[in-house]
Amino acid sequence: MILKLNHLKVKAAATTQGVIEAVYALVEEGRIDQGQFARLQVELDWIQYKSNFREAVTATQGYNAFGQPAPIMDVHVDTRQVVPETLRGDLLRAIHRAQSGAEEDACRLPLEEFQSLRTSIVWTFNRFFWRHLLAWEAATGQGYDKALPGGASDGHNPRAIAEDVAEFLDLLCLLRSKNQLPAEVNLLEIGVGNGSRCAQWLDKFQELDQQRGTGLYSQICFYMGDYSEDTLNKARLTVAKHIDQCRFVQVDAINPIKSLAHLRHKILQVHLTNVYDNLPDEEVVRRDGKLYFVQVRAYVPIAAVNSIGAKYGIPAELFRDRVYHMLETGFDSFGGPQHGVPFWQELWAAMRLEERLVQLEDLPEFPFPDGLDAGRMEDILQDAPTDFRFHLSSGALESFVRTLPLLHPRGYMQVFDIFVTDLAQYRTGFFGPGKLDGSLLNWVNGALLKEVAQREGYDVHFRPFKYRANTHTSILYTTRRE
């Protein structure tokens, strides 16, 4: 057995000893056989997201393409949730469930079949959240930003915006001195929210432009992009003072160039804040020189099905159908948001993910995201750890490579988000998915994005965010290689 401690927390020492004792006891009792014991890898995680998709103990079995068990089993113990008195039983149940590979479990109501995390129903819930954000905020009594660490988006920090405006104005002046400044200075923000960052940015640019006497404000053309028309309408009101400088466009964050093809090579700045960490993702495990694709299945514990169902008058046998109906049509079947939103919130809090691993070489149709294939993956992992689990950041990577062609030769792209900047970091922490209100949150594999960008002819570096203490936010900064 391999035991890995993936963090340094005070509680871990007692938990580590407890895990060792519990596993040895199960072996001595014959509840775990020697062969199974030999292939166990037990990982102790500290899941920083208080709301997440993990039970206190989970076990993940490996499989080949024929559905036969492979010699790999991972057990994850969340030291934040674990209860010493129930640890032994939790371990035994998790290992037995994974080993048996049972499709049916009387204690769980599955909401889907096993599949890539990227195609899981949890992302349907994520999209549902953004469509019904106002209803969620009305029910909680606070705006979405209040759920973020620090209670606000780092991308909206006034000092960070002032610094960015000054740097951008310096760039424009440099281009003008070389007769390279376009007549129309295009900027793009993807995921504009209520438009407050754009409004602050334009306020500061107009002010600094007047102070310096550079006369460039009138040339600004700020594209505000979001997939939601309701969000764009809300943002339109926020930037009313600068309406002549703004353009509003519906943009799919995963494929920005689709609706902005006319701006290819014309945008001098692209900005995103907390967008990549909320795009569909999938995970891969590297073990003994082999890659395993993580498949998931969302489920609701039967205890929660019964308690939530009793509260909202939904029989257990109709519970899953009612969930799908809500995701398709909204809250009409509940008589409106007054009852529909609380059901949704309780359901989201109860939902969990079970996992299994499938050997990558047994998946010839593995859906690599744009910018990545098996050959590139092999090259990127050449100097990476031999035993670790990591995000492909599929949605983020596709968005990234489909945004780069929009950049002007002297333009740059900046992404405010939470990044893993070195693949070795994946061996020392849990980076998602977690739950944030009704949405998902994943750290972004910045190391992978950087490698892909370099192969596309772009330079990437990460700037620390210096305006909030103890923040995990950093800024991915991308320019075309000269």
pTM of the model: 0.89
Q: Is the peptide bond before 158 cis (omega within 30 degrees of 0)?
A: no
Nearest residue to 226 via CA among 164, 133, 151: 133
| pLDDT, position 249 | 96
Phi-psi region of 157 (alpha: psi -120 to 50; beta: other; left: phi over 0): beta
Provide the pLDDT for residue 11.
65
Region 368-387 average pLDDT: 83
Question: In the chain, what percentage of residues exceed pLDDT 70?
Answer: 95
CA torsion through residues 9, 14, 15, 17, sign: positive
CA distance 318 to 94: 27
Taking only the tens place, the pLDDT of each residue in 122-155 is 999 999 998 898 899 899 887 766 666 666 678 8
For the domain with range 145-280+378-480, which CATH number is right: 2.60.260.20, 3.40.50.150, 3.30.499.10, 3.40.1190.20? 3.40.50.150
Token pair, residue 220, equals 């600004």
Beta bridge partners of 115: 296
Q: Is the dihedral of CA 124, 128, 130, 131 positive or negative?
A: positive
pLDDT of residue 245: 97
Q: How far is CA 457 from CA 46, 163, 164, 453, in A?
A: 38, 27, 24, 6
C-alpha 21/C-alpha 16 separation (Å) is 9
Each residue's pLDDT tens digit, 49-88: 888 999 999 999 988 767 788 888 899 999 888 888 898 8
Domain ranges of the chain: 1-102, 145-280+378-480
**pLDDT tens digits along 400-445:** 999 999 999 999 999 999 999 999 999 888 898 999 888 999 999 9
Q: Span 279-302, mean pLDDT? A: 91
Check residues 102 and 207 and name the one with the higher pLDDT. Answer: 207
Instruction: Output the pLDDT for position 355.
Output: 93
Average pLDDT, integer, range 455-472? 90
Given a cut of 90, whether residue 20 has pLDDT beyond it is no
CB atoms within 10 A of CB 66: 6
Q: For the ranges 103-107, 217-221, 327-331, 340-344, which has the lowest average pLDDT? A: 103-107
Range picked from 10-14, 151-155, 382-386 for highest mean pLDDT: 382-386
Does residue 362 have a pLDDT over 60?
Answer: no
pLDDT, position 254: 94
194-216 mean pLDDT: 96
pLDDT recorded at residue 174: 97
Q: What one-letter code names the amino acid at 333?
A: S
Q: What rounded mean pLDDT belongs to the chain?
A: 90
What is the pLDDT, as a whole number, of residue 6? 79
| Residue 366 binned pLDDT confidence (cut-offs 50, 70, 90) | low
pLDDT per residue as tens digits for the range 214-253: 999 999 999 999 988 888 998 999 999 999 999 999 999 9
Q: What is the pLDDT of residue 364?
A: 54
Instruction: Tell me which residue of 241, 233, 145 sits closest to 200, measured CA to CA.
Output: 241
Measure the CA–CA gap between 430 and 50, rounded to whole angstroms: 12
What pLDDT is stored for residue 3 in this prediction? Answer: 82
Reported CATH class of domain 1-102: alpha beta
What CA–CA distances, in Å, run from 30 to 23, 36, 37?
Answer: 11, 11, 11
Virtual torsion, Cα 239, 243, 245, 250, nearest 10 deg: 80
Instruction: Copy the structure tokens of residue 368.
Output: 């690599």
28 exposure class (CB count in 10 Å sphere: 0-12, 13-18, 19+): exposed
Are 1-102 and 145-280+378-480 the same fold in CATH? no
Give the long-range contacts of residues 364-372, CB within 8 A, separation 24 or more.
366/293, 367/116, 367/118, 367/394, 368/392, 369/393, 369/394, 369/395, 369/397, 369/398, 370/397, 370/398, 370/401, 370/402, 371/397, 371/398, 371/400, 371/401, 371/452, 371/456, 372/397, 372/448, 372/452
